Structure formats: structure tokens, C-alpha cells
A and B are shown apart, each in its own frame.
Chain A
Amino acid sequence: MARAAATAQPAAATARLSSLVNDSFARAIFYQLLTAAILVGGIWYLISNTIANMSQRGMAAGFDFLDYTAGFNIVFTLIPYREGDSYFRVFQVGIANTLLVAVIGIVLATLIGLVMGLARLSTNWLIRTMARWYVEILRNTPLLLQIIAWYFGFFNLLPVPRQSFDWGGAFFLNNRGFYFPAPVPQDGFGWTGVALGLAIVASVAIHRWARRRLEATGQSFPSVLSGVGLIVLLPTATFLATGSPLEWDIPVLRGFNFRGGLSVPPTFCALIVALAIYTSCFIAEIVRAGIQSVSHGQTEAARALGVKPSRIMRFVILPQALRVIIPPLISQYLNLTKNSSLAIAIGFPDLVSVWMNTSLNQSGRAIPIVAMTMAFYCAVSLSVSLLMNLYNRRVQITER
């Protein structure tokens, strides 16, 4: 009896141990603790090494350099900047420039991509074939080379300022950039802005009301048309009523180049065009795949129900195609934003070029500068991902 108990005890212990080993919960805890230990150990190891290395090599660290004078010229800044400004200002300039490129690039890429995507589905053989080769050629060469090609193959070959392309004496294009009039608001221009805001609020309200009425009664109301009309007419009327309080600063050729007005350098144009065209290839494929993903039966069913052809596209095809199109589209937008860092190849002062290249080189503070650059891109990317997930949740087909 005693012997039996003695043998039973280790057996029970083994059983308990084996049940612990086979228990998925316990195993999960173990794996996670292991990962955490490796992670913490690894990070501690890297940090301690970095500190040792930096102190030994006399490298300065910290963010104190942000207040120092940068002292170099930046060819294009969205926000005001002078040579005497601090490094932190350079960082802000870089961010503003990167965001500007991203926004304009995204708008252009979407438009071109949409056109090219539809062209790939065209019934015209030449258009279809050209669209196909447009996509194939541009998608299969590195963007870096394309940016360089656009700069040297086009924007650098434009005429010199004295022989600029001149559109109406106000818009000029030459190899120094694109020059256009700058609006200079006078007193009372604020009212136009207020009117614009009111019009937008009103049209949103109308749209909502129209939608509710459509769902409740089935009667439709041209909310889009009325909204656009409101947004255009109300501010225009206010603008005229307050006596057109806006003047234009028109660029004039003086000395080496045009002065006054607004301008963007050729590197900006080359970067925008290259980014927009390169990304448009991917967008074209996304649009094509999206439209093709809606089965033909949907169109036929809608037609059988007597829905007007213009409404089939808007209410049947597009909502379904968009569900397929939007997620990859957003990731293309993020790619475009990240790809704008290739501006370094032609020297447009985006964040990477002006901050991680020039500023790092002039100040020598590798760690804070690289960290700040990465933090910016992470912030942009993560906030877009967040919005994206919200959208996805809204449009997802609820499975039952």
C-alpha cells in the first residue's frame, strides 16, 4: 500500500508536468515570456552598446542641435524659411514639402490611373494596347530612374527664362520652374471664406436630408447638383458683393528670372510627374481589376429591373468595385508618400533629402535625425492605416 502510494506520487507529478507541457495556455504563456525576455535583452544589449560606442568615439547625441542655425539655402519651401533659421525649422520645411508632394501626387496619380484603367478596358485597340504598354513599361523600371529621366528628359530641356512658355502673360513654364500668379487677399476677403464654409455645411445637411427621404419615401432629390451649385454660387456672390477683394501678384521677368507670384522648381515638377505616372500604373491595374471583379450578372440583373444605365454604374457597379479598389488604392497612396523620399536623386528638398541627407551631413547627429525621420513616416502611415481599418469595417460584407 505504502509502496503503491510512493509510486503513484511521482506518476502524478509527471502527469501534472506533462499536462502543463501540453496545456496550450501554459505553453502560450511560456512562449510569450521567452519572446519578451529575448526582446528586452536584445534591446538592452543594443542600447548599452550604442552608449558605449558613442561615448568612446566622442559623438555628440541629444536634440540640442535642433536650435542651432542651419545656414544652408533650400530651393523650395512651402512654409517661410531663411538661411538663419534653426534645424528644427528645416525639419518642418521638409515635412511640409513631403506632404505637399504626397497630396498633389496622389490627386494626379488617381486621375491618371482612373483614365488608364478605363483605357485598358477600352474597345479601341490602339488605346487598349498603348495603355497596356504604358503600364508594362513604367511599372517595370525603377522609379529612381524614372525620376531622373523626367528631370533630364523633359524639365531640364525646357527653354531658359527669357524664352519661357507664356500662357496669357501670367503663367510661365521654363527650365527654372513653373511660375503662376499668387492671390493676395485684400480686406473683406474673409467673408468669401465664411460663405464657402456655410455653403459646405449646408450642402452636407441637404445631402443627409435627401438620403433620409430617399430611404423613407423612395423619392430622390438631386442633392449632389444642388450641393455643387450652392458651393459655387454662394461664395461667388459674396465675393462680388464685397467688391472682389482679391488681387493677383503676377510673376515678372527681372534679372535672371521671374520675380513675384508663386513658383515651383523643375525638380518638384519632375518628382510629381514621375510619382504620379509611376503610381498611376498600379492604380490603373487596381481600377481594372476592381471593375472586372463585379460579375456581369449584376449589370444584367440591374438592367432586367429597369435601372437606367447611368445609375447602374453609380449604384450597382461602383459600390461593389470600390470595396475591391479602396484597400489597395490606399496602400498605393502610402507607397507614393514613401516613394517621395526618392526626391534625393534630383535634389528636391523633401524630408529625406533636406533632413536625413543635408542636415545630417552638416550636423552629424545620425541617431536623432534618423529617428525623427522614421517617426514622421510611421505617424503618417499609422494614422492612414487607422482610418483605413475604420473604412474597411464599414464596407465589409457582414457574413451570417
Chain B
Amino acid sequence: MNSDSRFDIKKLLSNQLLIPFTALIILCLINLINDPSFFQITVGTNNAGNTVFSGSLITILDYGSELAILAIGMTLVTAASGGQDISVGATIAIAGSAMLRVLCGGNTRPDTLAAPIIVGFLVACIVGMLCGAFNGMLVAIFRIQPMIATLILFTAGRSIAAWINNNELPIVPDPKFAYFGGFIPGIPIPTTVFIALACIIVAALMLKFTNLGLYTQAVGINESSSRLNGINPTAIKFISFMILGLCVAVAALIKVSRLSTINYSVIAKDIEMDAILAVALGGNALSGGKFNMWASILGAYIIQFLTTTLYKFKVDSAALPAYKAVVVIILVVFSSPVVRQKLQQFSNKRAAATAKKEVA
């Protein structure tokens, strides 16, 4: 029996989901001690008169879903290119602004939709993928470091977004448009949860029915070897950025829908950092290579869990990043090779010690 438990400890330590689950448990405990009502879910009526669930957990599901969608694309970009896309927030602004322009037809206060919502969304998808293609081109073809390449859109994106609508803030007249970032009448669960679920299912199907996972990991681990096995590393990196572009478009739909308008300088601000953090918290190496998509998605919800928890502790939103930074430090240090090696040595030593005892 002793040997069984030893085996489990070793397996647990090497499991990628160890970090996110530990983080989740710690967060739950903190909230339980601080204020058990954190876990309460109440049924109420929202502004639109719908019966909806509310409570901290619902908020986490709602906003965590945005992050989860972005984490899908960010995981692929990280794995293939060994770097991160920091232009996500800015490209959400661009895609969202393009969508508004199409839906409102250039008017600031239109009475009716200038185009069906689906057309607006498709335009957002195209714009998102174009932004992804731009980043992908710089990274895959010109071999610029991903963070430097995406710094361009990070810097210019919000100005481009404002320029698309002549710096006006058009408001979408159709109340149906608000469903995407809110609730569909009769369904008490936030719509974002369903959108995220759809994205996760698509991602799962993609990973199951194509070789995207294998190719991406191979390129991220050893580009030269992948090429000699017939894989086109340039194409794989390019595709990963395009997929992130699609994720950005979906996130833009949710973000714009929440307000039915846009705020160029604030929309999706710093969201790229949370998305990257989600990938890291999922135990994926930010230097690329092997990845676990589900761990990233779990990571996304945990990041939101953390944010909501910090709000519960009355942390000012301006001070929030400082607290998150502490989490990042702990995370990065614990997943560093040095600490991992030490942990491994420790568990080996323990194993050896117990083995000795058994012999005695």
C-alpha cells in the first residue's frame, strides 16, 4: 500500500493540472473563510426583466468565458511560436469597431440595424483574422519575435479602431444584440457560457479530427526536425495566429454586446495579459512546445476567479494588476525548472527513504 501512495505523489507532482487545481482550491478556501456567501447563487430579475441567476460564481463563469475563448487561440500561438500575442485587446477593439460600423452603417444613433447581426459578426471575423494574418506574417515569415511583432498592433490598434468609426461611439439599436454579452430571455445562464462552450467544442473537434495539435507541438519543440518530416512550420505558425484572430472576433462580439457600443481606450484593456496568464497557469510552457488546451481553459476561469475574489476583498481596480503580479511571481517561480528539479529530488529522496524503511 505504501508503494502505491508513493507512486501517486510522484504522478501528482508531474501532472500539469496540479498547479491550476491547487490555485483553485486555495482560492475557494480563502473565499470560504472570508465570506461563505461568495458561493451563493440567487435568482433575480435583470434590467431587461429576465429571470436570471446572479452571484459571484455566475460572474466568474460569465467573464471567465471571454478569457477561455482567447486562451484557446493564445495556447496555440504560444505552442507554435514560443511567444505570445500582446495585441489581443487592441485587435478586439478593431474587430469590435468594424462590427459596429457595419451594424450601424456609419450613423451614430441609427433607428434600425444597417445589416443583420450575423453580417456584422462575419466582418468582425474577417477583420480579426486579418489582424492575425498580419501578426502571423511578421512572426512566421519575417521571423520577428512574437511580442515585438504584436507590439505594433498593441500600440496602433486602438487608434485604428477609433478611426474606423471616425472616433464616434455608435450605439446598436437592436436589443437582441445585447443577448450575446448578457442573457437570452428565458435562459437564466449568461450567453457567454454557451458561446465559450461552442468554441471549446469546436477546438476539441479540431484537435481530434485534424493533426493541428501534433503539428503545432512538433513545430514548437523542434522546427528543423518538423520541416524534415514534411511539416511547413511557417504555415503552422501563421495558422495559429489566424485562429487567435477568430477567437478575438468572438471576444469582440461579446465585449461590444455588453455595452451595445464601444469605448476605444478601455474595451478589453489588459485582457491579453489575463489570456497569457491563463496559458501559464494551465502549466503550459510559455516558451512553446507541448500544450494542454483544457488546462489553459481551466486557467482562464481561475484567473477570473482570482479577479472576482480580489474585488470581493475591495481591492481597487487600479491596484488589481499589482495583486495579480504577486500570483504571477509565485506561479513562474513554482513552475521554473530549478524549483521543479528540487521538488523532484525531494520526492525521490522521500521515496528512497521509505524504501529503506521497508527494507529495515
Q: Do A and B bind each other?
A: no
